Structure 1
Amino acid sequence: MMRSVPRSRFRRYELVSRAVDAVEDLRCELARRGMYTGVSPVVLSVEEAKYFRPLYLDLVEDAVILYDRGGFLRRVLERVRCYIALFGGKRVWLGRRWYWVFERGNPFIELVGVKLVE
């Protein structure tokens, strides 16, 4: 997340492309050892990141936060964790893949446009 980002997705990717390129040799070495990884940058402005995104469901389960100025991302993910509980959400594994099941409602519809934090 950044305070301000270009509107263009391509321009946003340019902001992080050197960092992505810097780990490519390591990714290739890990692949040779049978560990397959991926880098999928999602570049958002702080304002954009305040709103629910389905990606956040998986981040609640898997994210390792390396740096979080002021605890912003921690607050976003804690709010999403509350919504997962509210909707009775559970991640179901099917082999090496997963999907989400919700007992009450559909957050993919009901949380569109919902601001998670100020």
Structure 2
Amino acid sequence: MLISLRAGAGVDGLQHACSTVVFGEIDWSPGVHEQCIGRIHRDGQQEPVMAYFLIADSGSDPIVSEVLGVKREQIERVRNPGEHLVERRDVGEHQLRALAQQFLKDHGHAVAPVNVSTIEVTP
């Protein structure tokens, strides 16, 4: 079955039909992934559940997956406040800028050095 990340809300019974989830797209929210996996990993599931994420080497996938890692770390601090916390200095604020720069570079535009507020493009 092929289903959109957000289309399966309220679907039940998948735990009796499969135990493997393959993500062909990734969402900006790790909670969306958890909900999708949860449709399979629920009461009645007889097998271990495996989830695979197909992530491309280019495009937005590397950047989105990195941001997801940061978001996961942040939410784990809320879920498990007694756990040992590790401070992360890079909190993902420059990934979209990097994606835009890569897009421009891939399309033959020279990208000037980036200042904090703008990206300058030379034709």
Bigger share in helix: 1
Q: Same fold (TM over 0.5)?
A: no
* TM-score bucket of the superposed structures, by smaller chain: under 0.3
Task: Please give the TM-score of this superposition, normalised by the length of structure 2.
Answer: 0.26
Given the two structures, how large is their TM-score scaled by the length of structure 1? 0.27
Bigger relative CO (Cα 8 Å, ≥ 6 apart): 1
